[in-house]
Structure 1
Amino acid sequence: MKISTTLKKISKAHILAIIFWLIVWQISSMIIGQEILLVSPFSSLKRLFELSMKFEFWQSILFSFIKITTGFILAFIIGIISAIIASNKKNFRILIEPLILTIQSIPVASFIILSLIWISSKNLSIFISFLMVLPVVYRNILDGINSISRELNDMAKVFKVSRIKKIRYIYLSEVAPYLRAACSVSLGLCWKSGIAAEIIGMPANSIGENLYKAKVYLNTPDLFAWTIVIIIISICFQKGFLSLIDYLLKRLEIN
């Protein structure tokens, strides 16, 4: 009962917060009085509804979703594998450290421009999303593995715990919070960087291309409508993936 009541309170608080900022948005639009500078929420949602009636709208969403999600999943898998190897092989950790630092230091725009020399605009968002997510996953998983106390490993050796049980009940249980934190941070980052790559590379039938065209033609309602789409997809993808992670951790009896 307490949990359900808390969830209702949180849900109500979130709804009120959204309503508050929609009112602020509407008032700001009315004060400015020029929708080419700041379109109203109603006009944005109306345009979003109009766009949703077109096949090209859903085609663009599907294209961007597949590309950016592919980049995230690749970085997620490779980041975990790299962290596991780095935790066991000091030479590998020393070798990969300059690469991770370089990726973290260089601005996203620079990566996008440089990558266009070697990669087609069609696959640019995959590569950029991959690069932005990789260091986050790698660092968090490596920190999680390094946080495991030596006493736990010694205890496992004394009681002759099998490797599978050791991984499941010691390593995974300790690394799980770091894994979730990595996902929480990188899921939003992959969408920001992926869409930025599409805006610069302008692959056909992508969200980024539609955003760029809206900006060029000063089509503010379209610009806000597509921005709303990005926010909705990013939040849904984040909630969905984190729910999947939580479900898997629960099945493994880690939580």
Structure 2
Amino acid sequence: MMRFTIRSKRNMQHAGNKKETIKLWAVIVWLLIWEIASRLLKQEILLVSPVSTAKRLLEIARAWEFFRTILHSMMQIILGFLGATAIGIVLAILGNLNRRVEEFLQPLFGVMKAIPVASFIILCLVFLSSKKLSIFIVFLMVLPIMYTNILQGIQSVDRNLIEMAGVFEVPLVKRIRYLYIPAIWPFFYAACRVGIGFSFKSGIAAEVIGIPKGTIGERLYEAKIYLDTPDLFAWTIVIVVVSILFEKLFLYVLKKSYLGLSKRTEKR
């Protein structure tokens, strides 16, 4: 059992260390391409230059409203993501314990994965207030990802080890710690990486359609209505930066927590 735990930890470290590093030179080249395309087009209302976008971003960042808008949208999106994570874990456990539960949930999550985000948003607007729309949409988009990955992780545990743990009457807490958590970890980590990206995409899309006050989506909608291209690009960059920062921070805390648990497990 201990060998299995150590091997799983090594697999996790190998998977976690595969970083998709973005090279600075590539970013600079794309910025130059953007600048050249903007100058050739000579229509900033269609394609604003990166310089103009940066200037506008610095202008709107001076006001407290800027940070309050980001915080408002982030809180909605994070709540939906965490809710989907918690419910996904519970449903995956139930699906593993009872085959009927897994069969019952399979068509539901299949449909949820197939339906476009925009369709979900429009349908939900019939029943929900636009203020809470982004939370629910993020929840719906992330839940199938969490459920599927965690269920696969649980089902990947070696059945021989499970039977051996039963024969030796290993307590449930130790089974979870030494068998299930190491097996589930790579699947859960991957689900979080994908889920965070989906969270921000679907959450902002819900805000653009629902137009709740004081959100990034409202700012994007206003920029579109008034053909304010610098604002549109500036807020888009904000979304990208906030999404990346939250992903890096969340995954860092998650990884450190798991490594800490693994070290304590090895000492025992």
Which of the five TM-score ranges fits, normalised by the shorter chain? over 0.9
For residues 251 and 151 of structure 2, the distance between their equivalents in structure 1, rounded to whole angstroms, comes to 20
Secondary structure, in 3 states, of the residue corresponding to 1:122? coil
Q: Tell me by how many angstroms 1:154 deviates.
A: 1.8
Stretch moving more, 217-226 or 19-28: 19-28
Deviations along 1:128-181, one digit per CA (max 9) or x if unpaired, are 000000000000000111111111112222343221111011100011000001
What are the within-5 Å matches in structure 2 for residues 62-101 of structure 1?
62-101=71-110
Per-residue deviation, residues 87-140 of structure 1 (Å, max 9, x unmatched): 001122122222211211111101000100110000000000000000000000
1:213-243 Cα offsets, whole Å, 9 max, x none, are 0011110000000000000010011111111
Q: 1:24 is matched by which residue type in structure 2?
A: I
RMSD: 1.6
SS at match of 2:143: helix
Q: CA deviation at 1:31?
A: 1.3
Instruction: Single out whichever of 25-34 and 106-115 deviates more from structure 2.
Output: 25-34
SS in 2 for 1:49: helix
2:220 aligned with 1:189, yes or no?
Answer: no
Equivalent residue number for residue 26 of structure 1: 35
Aligned partner of 2:225 among 213, 216, 234: 216
Give the corresponding residue for 1:4: none
Following the alignment from structure 1 to structure 2, what is the Cα–Cα distance between the partners of residues 45 and 122? 30
Question: For residues 169 and 34 of structure 2, what CA distance do their matches in structure 1 show?
Answer: 62
Distance 2:77 2:249 in 1: 15
Q: How does 1:199-238 map to 2 (within 5 A)?
A: 199-238=208-247
Q: Which amino acid aligns with 1:200?
A: I
Q: Quick one: which amino acid aligns to residue 228 of structure 1? A: I
Q: 1:106 aligns with which of 101, 115, 136?
A: 115
- Displacement of 1:61 in angstroms is 0.6
Q: Which runs of 5+ in 1 are unaligned?
A: 1-6
**Does structure 1 residue 56 correspond to structure 2 residue 65?**
yes
Q: What's the offset of the Cα at 1:27?
A: 1.2
Which residue, 154, 159, 168 being the options, matches 1:150? 159
Match of residue 169 from structure 1: 178
The CA distance in 2 between the partners of 1:207 and 1:197, in whole Å, is 10
Shift of 1:52: 0.6
- Paired with 1:124 and 1:99, the residues of 2 have a C-alpha distance of 20
Shift of 1:60: 1.1
Deviation at 1:28, TM superposition (A): 1.1
Give 5+ residue unaligned stretches, structure 2. 1-16
TM-score, normalised by the number of residues in structure 1: 0.93
Give the TM-score, by structure 2 length. 0.88
Aligned partners of 2:71 and 2:248: how far apart in 1? Answer: 18
Aligned to 1:117: 126
Kindly tell me the number of residue pairs found equivalent between the two proteins. Answer: 246
